[in-house]
Every structure is written in structure tokens, then in C-alpha cells.
Amino acid sequence: MPASEFVLLLGGDLGDPVEQLALAEIAIAARVGSVQARSRDHWTAAWGFTSGTLFLNRALLVRTQLEPHSVMDACLAIERSMGRVRSESQGMASRPIDIDILAIGDRVIMDDTLTVPHPRLHLRRFALAPLCDILPRWRHPILDREALDLLNALPPQ
């Protein structure tokens, strides 16, 4: 399989988010593929729940030979190794690390375990802003709009 470029979003608000994201990036480079670009860091309020801490978010452009489901499995394993516990009953909550696949070029994947592009990407400033730092002209393959257009269409905070 030829190499693909994945956009991953790293985020977290527990512990030391700066260190957590740095450790996650090292683990991604070791387990997933080479980091081609990274966004600047974005500090934002929690989305979808109330938290007393700010989230740190960063997007990475990662080149890999892995298939999308293998990338997702590797990201989940990195999260677990860093203390992330996912619980369906918990819903959205503070966490030490979160790694999401935002996009894989113009690919669309919709199955029981993976949806790409991320299904709420177009609604989340904390995801679109870092994406725009590295790929502002990326075109959402379902909505047929550039990342920067999607970001600019969000209501002001």
C-alpha cells in the first residue's frame, strides 16, 4: 500500500497537557509514521461539557504505510498507555490525552469502528483551527468545502 497522509488531532486537559501532547507525538512517530507538519498549540474551553481546565489541541500531519483501522488502533493504544480510560457511559469528559483521526486526504470511511472525516469536524473550532494551521485548503470530501471556509463559517465564540 502506498503511504497516506493522516491529519490527527491531539488534545487533553488533565495533568500537564504540554508534556502529554509531546509524549503522544513521540509515540505517534514511533508507532504510526513520520510527522510531516504540526499546528501551533491551541488552548480552548471544553466542548460538549463543562470543565474547570482548558484543553490543549494540536494537529499533526502524519505520513504512514498503515491502513486507517491500524492507525486508529495504534492511537487508541497510545491513549491507553498514557492513562486514558474510555467509557461509553461517561460521555465527554476531561482526559489526559485524546487522539482523533480528522482526515485522510480526500478519503471517506464510514463503518462501525471508524468515520473519516471526523463526523463533527465541521462543528468544532478546536479541531478546524489546528487543521487550518497545516492544511487550510484541505477540502472536506463530503461537504465539498475547504477547511478555512468551514472554520470561518462557525459562529463567533
pLDDT at 95: 83
CATH number at residue 35: 3.30.70.560
Asked, for residue 126, whether it belongs to a domain, the answer is no
Cβ burial of 20 (10 Å; 0-12, 13-18, 19+) is buried
Asked, for residue 88, whether it belongs to a domain, the answer is yes
Question: Which stretches in the chain have pLDDT values below 70?
Answer: 1, 87-93
List 12's β-bridge partners, or say none. Answer: 56
pLDDT at 91: 61
Asked, for residue 71, whether it belongs to a domain, the answer is yes
Cβ burial of 130 (10 Å; 0-12, 13-18, 19+) is buried
Which residues lie below 8 Å from residue 55, measured CB to CB, with a gap of 6+?
11, 12, 13, 17, 43, 44, 45, 46, 47, 126
Closest by CA position to 110, among listed 69, 82, 49: 69
Asked, for residue 133, whether it belongs to a domain, the answer is no
Asked, for residue 23, whether it belongs to a domain, the answer is yes
Number of domains in the chain: 1
pLDDT in tens, 103-112: 999 999 999 9
pLDDT at 93: 67
Asked, for residue 39, whether it belongs to a domain, the answer is yes
Asked, for residue 140, whether it belongs to a domain, the answer is no
Supply the range of the domain harboring residue 77. Answer: 4-118
Asked, for residue 141, whether it belongs to a domain, the answer is no
pLDDT at 140: 98
pLDDT at 96: 84
